[in-house]
Structure 1
Amino acid sequence: MSRSVPLVPTATACALALVLTACGGTGGVHGTPGGAGVADPYFPKAGNGGYDVTHYALTLAYTPDTHDLTGTAEITARATHNLSAYDLDLKGMKVDALTVDGKTAPWTRTGQELTVRPPSTLPKGKTFRTTVRYSGTPETITDPDGSEEGWLRTADGALALGEPTGAMAWFPADDHPSDKATYDITITVPKGLQAVSNGELRTEPTTRAGRTTYSWRTTHPMATYLATVAIGHYDITRTTMKNGLPVYVAVDPQEAAASRKVLARIPEIMEWEEYNFGPYPFSSTGAIVDRRGDAGYALETQNRPFFPGAPDTATLVHELAHQWYGDSVTPKTWRDMWLNEGFATYAEWLWSEDHDGDTAQQTFDALYDGTYYDDPSDNEAIWAFPPARPTSAAHISDSPVYERGAMVLHKIRRAVGDARFYDIIQGWAAAHRYGNANTADFTAYVEKMAPGKDFSGIWKAWLYGDGKPARP
C-alpha cells in the first residue's frame, strides 16, 4: 500500500480519523466512503459506489518503442450520497499526482482500488472533478476465460480493449458497465503513427516536435469496456452514408486488400439494421481492423467495432448490431451478457434469412438437432448452462450466451409473430436507449408488449432452465 504526497493540513484530521465516517466538511456535512465494487455477480471488485461519472477527459501520450504511457484523467462525477472517500479502478500504472476540484487529495492503493479522500466531504448531489496524473507501462490483463484485454502491444503500436474489465489498465475509472459517461480522448504518438478512438475527431491532427496529437470526442454515454484506442499505421477512409452519417474506417495496411470488399458493405448493413432495429443511436459509424493476432476476438467498441484481421460479413453484422444491443442498451451486470450477444447473434440469423441464406428457423433447428457445428462437442456446449445464468466469470462469453440466447429470441418471435416481434426489439432499443437494463427488465418488457401471451414456458425452459429443453 502506498501513499501520495504528505496529507495536506486541511485533510490530516480526517485521514487519521477515517474509519467508517468522515470528519465534517463544509457546513458540517458528514459522509461515508463509497463502496469498493458494485457487487457484480461475476466481477465483484469492478466499479465503485458513492458516485456517478458523467464525463472522462483523458489526455494520453504513448511511445511504442519504450511502451511508456503517460496520462491525465479528469473525471467529472456526481456524489450519490455524502461522500467522505471513494474508489477508482486502476490496475498497474504509477499515480504521480491527484487532486479533487483542484485541491491536492490523499490517496492509497490496494490491488486495483485507488482510494481517494477528498479534502472535505462531498455532499450528496455535488458535481466534483478528480484529476489523476499517472504514468508507466500499461498491463495486458488475462480474463478468467484466458483471453487478453487491457493494453495490448501490436507490431507497430498498441491497442486498448476493455471487455469486461480492461479499461482500468489504461485509465482510472468506475470500471463497470452500469456507469456510462461521455468522453474526450486525446492521444499523442510519434509522427507517422495514427491514433484512432471512439466518437468523432474534434479537430484535425496536429504535429509538433516529432509527435502528432489526435483528439476524439464521444457525446453519447459509453460504458468503460467500450472505450478504445488503436495506435499504429492505418489506411484511413472517411465517407458518409446517404443519410449523412459519417463513416470512419481505419485498416492496417496489411489487411487493406482482404478487408476492402466487406467493409464497403457497412452502409448497406447499417441501413438494414436501422430498418430492423430502429434509428441508429450514435453520431458516426465505421470499423477498426488491425492485424490478425493483435487480439483474439472482435469487439463492439462504440461507434467503430474492432476486428483482428478482415472480418467476414456475419461478424461485421454482429458487431454493428451491438451498437444497438450492448452499446446503447447496456447490461446492468455481466450476468446479463446474453442481452448483448444473443441479440447480435440473432442479427446474424436475420441477415442470413434476408439475404438468401438459411432462415432463422433453419439455424435454430440445426442448433437444436446438433448439426450446426462439425464438432459434436461444440453442439453439446450450447446446453452447458442457461443463457441468463452463466456458471462463472469464465463462461460469460460461452456458446449458451450467444446461440442459446439467440434461440430465446427466436422462441419469442415464434410466439408473437413477426410484426409484434419487430415492435418488441425496436421498442426495447428505444425504451432503454443510452441506459442499462437486465434480464428481468427484458422479460417484463416482452410481456408488456404482448399482453395475453404466456411466456412462462420460454423463460423457464429456454432462458433460465438447465439442460436441453424438450423438443420445441
Structure 2
Amino acid sequence: MSRSARLVPPAALLAPALALALALTACDSGSRDGSDGAPGLSDPYFPKAGNGGYDVSHYGLTLAYTPDGNRLTGTAVITARATEDLSAFDLDLVGMEVEKVTVEGGAAEYERDGQELTVRPSDPLAEGETFEAEVRYSGSPRTITDPDGSKEGWLRTADGALALGEPTGSMAWFPGNHHPADKASYDVTVTVPKGLTAVSNGELTSEKTTADGRRTFTWHTAEPMASYVATLAIGRYTVTRSTVPGSSTQDGLPVYVAVDPTQVAASRKVLARLPEVMRWAQDSFGPYPFSSTGAIVDRPGDADYALETQNRPVHPGAPDIETFVHETAHQWFGDSVTPKSWRDMWLNEGFATYAEWLWTEDEGGATAEETFTELYDHGEDDYENLWAVPPAKPTSAAHISDEDTVYQRGAMVIHRIRQAVDDDDTFYDIVQGWAAAHRHGNADTAAFTAYVEKAAPDADFDEIWSDWLYGEGKPTRP
C-alpha cells in the first residue's frame, strides 16, 4: 500500500480511507471466520473426549457390515448447532478411513490427528447456526482397551459384532461428539449379510431384504441419548417382541429382546420377569423415560461386562436377576439422567447398585439396612478399596467404574440419604423427583446434593457429603 503511494502520488490522498476500509473488512472477516472449536471438553478423566463449539441434535447413520474381513462402510449425517463462530470443528473418530466430508452440502477440508477429525467448512459457521455435516468412511473398526483394561468399541463375535461405548468406544464405529454432555436423537440403518440381524437402540422402524439377500434394519431413537450408551449388535439372534404396561403409549411399552440362540434356555427365566421388573422400577423410580424396552443377550465372552445401552441393555451371557435389575435401573440413572462428566459416574452406579438392594429388600431378602450394615462392618473382605477413594473423586480414568468405591460406596451414600430423611415417602420423593427434574438431561454431583438438601430441608446432610461422598477413609459409624 505504501509502495503504491510513492509510485502514484495522487493515490496518497485515498490511503487513509482505504486503510480504514481494509481494517474494517478484516475485522468483519475475522468475526465471520470465527475460531477452531476445541478438540475436547476438558473432561477431568478424558480431556480429549467430545469437542467444543457445537451441540449435536441428531445422528443419521447408514452402515453396512460384513463380518468376513470385519468390513464396515458408513455415512454419518450429523445435525448440530454452532455455539460460537466456527472456522473449523472437531469430531471424534478412531481408526477407519475418511473418504469425504461435506458441510451444508459443500465439500469441506479435513485432517486427522489421533482421535480428532478436524473439519474446515468452505464457509464459516456463525454462532447459533444449525448445520449438517456428512462424513463418509470405511474400514475395519477397532476394539479399544479402556484405562481399566476392559474392552469396548467394536467387539467381534462368533457370528458378527457388538459395539459398546462406555466411556469412549463409540468413536470406533461412527464420528461424533463423544462425551456424555452432548446427547442427541438417532436414526441407524444397518445392512448385514443374509441370516444376520442388526439390533440397535430405540424402535425398529423398518426391516427389508435386498435383491441379493442382504438384510437392512432401521432403528429410531427419539429421546436424547449419550453416545456411550448407543449400541449395535450384529449376529444370529432369536428375537421376541411383546408389550408391557408402560408410560409411553396406551397400548403398552414395546419390548424387543434379542438373544443368541446358545443363550435362549439359560436366559428364559430371568427375561420372563422383564414385565415384573419394569413395573417395580416404575413404582420405585417414576415413569419410564423411554418409548421401548428390552434386552440383548450375547454369548459369554463376547464382552466382559453388562452395559446399560439405552432401551435394551447388553448382557454377555444369561443375566442373573440382580444384574438385570441393575441395568434396568440405569435407564433412569445414567441413560435418562446422564452425568455431565465422567467424574459423576457414581450417580449412575450408586443408584443402580442401590436398586439391587431395594429389589432384594422388596423380594423378602436382606433389607437395604442389613446390606448397608454388612458392607460397613465387613465390606473390606470383598472390596479391599472400599474406603480408599471417595465415590465422587475417582483417582484416575481407570477408577471411574471402580466396583469398590463408585458402585458399593456410591450405594452407601444413597442409603445414608435414606437414613438421614428417616422417612421412606420422603426418600422415594427425592429419588423420583431427581429422575423427573433431569429427565433426558445431564447433571453433576453438585446439582444432586443441592437437590437433596432442598427436597429435605430439615435433614442434616453435611456429614454425608463430607465423609461418605467426598471423604477419604472409613467414615464414623452412622
The TM-score normalised by the length of structure 1 is 0.93
In the alignment, which residue of structure 1 is the partner of 2:189? 186
**1:381 Cα deviation (Å)?**
1.9
In the alignment, which residue of structure 1 is the partner of 2:219? 216
In the alignment, which residue of structure 1 is the partner of 2:149? 146
Equivalent position to 1:290, from 260, 285, 298: 298
Equivalent position to 2:471, from 450, 465, 472: 465
In the alignment, which residue of structure 2 is the partner of 1:426? 432
**1:451 Cα deviation (Å)?**
1.1
Work out which of the two has the higher radius of gyration on C-alpha atoms and give 1 or 2: 2
CA distance in 2, matches of 1:28, 1:452: 52
Q: Which amino acid aligns with 1:217?
A: H
> Identical aligned pairs, as a percentage?
70
Alignment of 1:51-450 (within 5 A): 51-243=54-246, 244-370=252-378, 376=381, 378-398=382-402, 399-416=404-421, 417-450=423-456
CA distance in 2, matches of 1:326, 1:208: 41
**1:170/1:24 CA distance change after superposition, 3 Å:** farther
**1:30 Cα deviation (Å)?**
3.2
Task: Judge conservation of contact 1:25–1:121 (CA < 8 Å) in 2.
Answer: no
Structure 2 unaligned spans of 5+: 1-24, 247-251
Task: Judge conservation of contact 2:31–2:85 (CA < 8 Å) in 1.
Answer: no
How many correspondences in the alignment?
Answer: 447
Task: Judge conservation of contact 1:288–1:305 (CA < 8 Å) in 2.
Answer: yes
Q: Which amino acid aligns with 1:45?
A: K
**1:72/1:23 CA distance change after superposition, 3 Å:** farther
CA distance in 2, matches of 1:74, 1:430: 31
CA distance in 2, matches of 1:206, 1:172: 27
CA distance in 2, matches of 1:25, 1:118: 18
CA distance in 1, matches of 2:68, 2:28: 46
CA distance in 1, matches of 2:359, 2:209: 41
CA distance in 1, matches of 2:37, 2:349: 31
The more displaced of 385-394 and 196-205 is: 196-205
The TM-score normalised by the length of structure 2 is 0.92
Q: Give secondary structure in 1 for the equivalent of 2:270.
A: helix
**1:242 Cα deviation (Å)?**
3.2
Q: Runs ≥4 in structure 1, deviation > 2 angstroms?
A: 22-28, 204-208
Q: Give secondary structure in 1 for the equivalent of 2:296.
A: strand
Task: Judge conservation of contact 2:155–2:163 (CA < 8 Å) in 1.
Answer: yes
Cα deviations by residue, 1:238-261 (Å, 9 ceiling, x for unpaired): 000134101100000000000001
The more displaced of 326-335 and 234-243 is: 234-243
Equivalent position to 2:32, from 7, 29, 32: 29
Could you say what the CA RMSD is over the residues aligned between the two structures, in angstroms?
A: 1.4
CA distance in 2, matches of 1:30, 1:23: 10
Q: Give secondary structure in 2 for the equivalent of 1:145.
A: coil
CA distance in 2, matches of 1:284, 1:67: 30
Q: Which amino acid aligns with 1:348?
A: E
CA distance in 1, matches of 2:30, 2:369: 65
